[in-house]
């Protein structure tokens, strides 16, 4: 969000900047969903709803989980929130307090760390890298579990790495957790944006984790609805009861109009998002090929989300015209200045080697971005 704000301010000054920082699909919200929102306004559906969200939308979330992974939930297991970010905050605040530990892997989505700290709990960060596809291994998990562990936070497909946990990997992690009494928060906001025939697996289906998985999901990414602010938390009823109290005293219900649009979204067939996912796949392959063709850039092809997370180590410690680039932030500043390209430096996700490239933009823009990126990076080669 900070990068997008910077891009806007540079554009106001007349700079030609390509924004590859955005964390949102560039497609419009599907039309029938927009129409449902318009109808809600026309019908005067513009007042408070129950704090936990509309019963009909909570039912639609249950139907979604039944349809997608044969999980049986009741509306009492569902909290509708103002985006997935809000669902994570409510869940963490409901189950964690000072003295507790929350485990998650690095690189991580920026808000996890801040939300854990906000609850008073201590973050326990497991470093990961390309060698394990940025995923936690069972051995790593075992080595950090303690009597204070309250929550394991998993994100698949992941932001910023695009990595996806397989069913086997999740089964292995669940095996480690079998004898530990803690919750698992599974952030599956990118579940529908997945490639190469990869299957999104839901760990709430595993008997070892029965009654302790907190599922975070929402409409922002799958239905290109980032501005509508609808997310949902699906969890054991006692946890949902606590989150309703928190939500009731902080934000009250999510926007009534967006909730009506959300019912329409969840009742749609996945075919409405198939074209978007196909376009992302094309762009993913194009951008990956262009990037890995640049000397000194190393990048695996991720199986989900809409980001590439290349290692730029080959360019750190190198001289430009004016200075030596030592961090991803300095490299991103150079690329913004020299090529007019905005990327998110790895520091935002706790990485000192990588940058995040969002390919949620047109192929034409990606082509021009690749050309400029390559020219600017090759200049660094020439100077060294
Ligand atoms: N979780 C992850 C991993 C994300 O990348 C994002 C948004 O970028 C969110 C949650 C929050 O989504 P929302 O916009 O629905 O709050």
Give residue-wise pLDDT tens across range 34-52. 999 999 999 999 999 999 9
pLDDT the model gives residue 291: 97
* 344 vs 332: CA distance, rounded Å: 7
Distance 85 CA to ligand 1 centre (A): 5
Q: Provide residues with CB under 6 Å of ligand 1.
A: 23, 83-85, 109, 155, 159, 187, 189, 218, 220, 226, 231
Measured over the CA atoms of residue 287, residue 288, residue 289 and residue 290, the dihedral's sign is positive
SS3 343: coil
Do 264 and 203 have their domain in common?
Answer: yes
Confidence of residue 224 (pLDDT cuts 50, 70, 90): very high
Sign of the CA dihedral 139, 143, 148, 154? negative
Residue 170: inside a domain: yes
Point out the least confidently predicted range of 24-28, 212-216, 305-309, 319-323: 319-323
Considering 268, 297, 313, which residue would you say is the last residue of a domain?
268
Residue span of the structural domain in which 39 resides: 32-268
Kindly state whether residue 4 falls inside one of the protein's structural domains.
no
Ligand 1 atom showing the smallest separation from residue 226 Cα: 14
First to last CA, the chain: 33
Q: Which long-range contacts (CB under 8 A, 24 or more apart) does 281-290 make?
A: 281/195, 282/363, 283/359, 283/360, 283/361, 283/363, 283/366, 284/195, 284/308, 284/359, 286/359, 286/363, 286/366, 286/367, 286/370, 287/357, 287/359, 287/366, 287/370, 290/366, 290/367, 290/370, 290/373, 290/374
Domain count, the chain: 2
CATH number at residue 110: 3.40.640.10
To test the pocket of ligand 1, the residue of 81, 82, 155, 159 to mutate (highest count of ligand atoms within 8 Å of its CB) is 159
Residue 304 is predicted with a pLDDT of: 98
- Whether the per-residue pLDDT at 188 is higher than 80: the answer is yes
Question: What is the Å distance from ligand 1's center to 189 Cα?
Answer: 6
Tell me, what's the pLDDT at 8? 85
Tell me, yes or no, whether 288 and 373 share the same domain. yes
Q: Provide the pLDDT confidence category of residue 384 given band limits of 50, 70 and 90.
A: confident
pLDDT at 149: 98
Which ligand 1 atom minimizes the distance to the CA of 187? 1
Domain boundary among 222, 245, 268: 268
37 and 101 part of one domain:
yes
Q: Are residues 59 and 114 in the same domain?
A: yes
**339 CA from centroid of ligand 1 (Å):** 28
Q: Is residue 194 in a domain?
A: yes
Residue closest by Cα to atom 4 of ligand 1:
159
Compute, in angstroms, the gap from residue 323 CA to the centroid of ligand 1. 35
Give the whole-number percent of the chain exceeding pLDDT 70: 100
Bridge-based pairing state of the strands 183-187 and 213-218:
parallel
Compute the average pLDDT of residues 63-73: 97
Please tell me the number of Cα atoms within 13 Å of 162 on its side-chain side: 29
Distances (CA, A) of 374 to 144, 160, 287, 369, 383: 41, 22, 12, 8, 14
Q: Probe ligand 1: pick from 115, 214, 221, max atoms within 8 Å of CB?
A: 221
- What are 339-349's pLDDT values in tens digits? 999 999 999 99
pLDDT at 10 over 90: no
Mean pLDDT, the chain, whole residue set: 96
């Amino acid at each position: 969000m900070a990068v997008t704000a910077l891009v806007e301010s540079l554009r106001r000054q007349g700079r030609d900047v390509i924004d590859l920082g955005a964390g949102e699909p560039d497609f419009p919200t599907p039309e029938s969903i927009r129409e449902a929102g318009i109808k809600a306004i026309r019908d005067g559906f513009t007042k408070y709803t129950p704090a936990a969200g509309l019963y009909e939308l909570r039912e639609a979330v249950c139907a979604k989980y039944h349809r997608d992974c044969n999980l049986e939930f009741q509306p009492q297991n569902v909290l509708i929130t103002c985006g997935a970010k809000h669902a994570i905050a409510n869940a963490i605040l409901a189950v964690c307090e000072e003295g507790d530990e929350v485990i998650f892997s690095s690189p991580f989505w920026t808000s996890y760390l801040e939300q854990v700290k906000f609850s008073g709990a201590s973050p326990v960060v497991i470093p990961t890298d390309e060698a394990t596809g940025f995923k936690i291994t069972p051995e790593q998990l075992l080595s950090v579990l303690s009597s204070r562990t309250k929550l394991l936070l998993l994100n698949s497909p992941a932001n910023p790495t695009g990595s996806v946990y397989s069913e086997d990997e999740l089964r292995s992690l669940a095996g480690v957790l079998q004898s530990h009494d803690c919750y698992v928060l599974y952030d599956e906001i990118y579940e529908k944006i997945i490639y190469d025939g990869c299957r999104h697996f839901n760990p709430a289906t595993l008997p070892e984790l029965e009654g302790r998985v907190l599922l975070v999901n929402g409409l922002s990414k799958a239905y290109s609805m980032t501005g509508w602010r609808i997310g949902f938390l699906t969890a054991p009823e006692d946890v949902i009861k606590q989150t309703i109290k928190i939500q009731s005293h902080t934000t009250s219900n999510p926007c009534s109009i967006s909730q009506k649009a959300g019912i329409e979204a969840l009742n749609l067939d996945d075919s409405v998002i198939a074209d978007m996912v196909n376009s992302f796949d094309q762009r993913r392959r194009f951008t990956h090929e262009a990037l890995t063709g640049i000397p000194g850039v190393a990048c695996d092809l991720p199986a989900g989300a809409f980001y590439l997370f290349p290692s730029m180590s080959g360019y750190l410690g190198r001289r430009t015209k004016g200075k030596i680039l030592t961090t991803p932030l300095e490299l991103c500043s150079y690329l913004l200045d020299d090529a007019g390209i905005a990327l998110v430096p790895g520091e935002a996700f706790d990485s000192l080697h990588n940058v995040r490239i969002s390919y949620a933009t047109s192929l034409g823009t990606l082509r021009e971005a690749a050309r400029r990126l390559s020219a600017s990076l090759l200049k660094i080669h020439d100077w060294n």
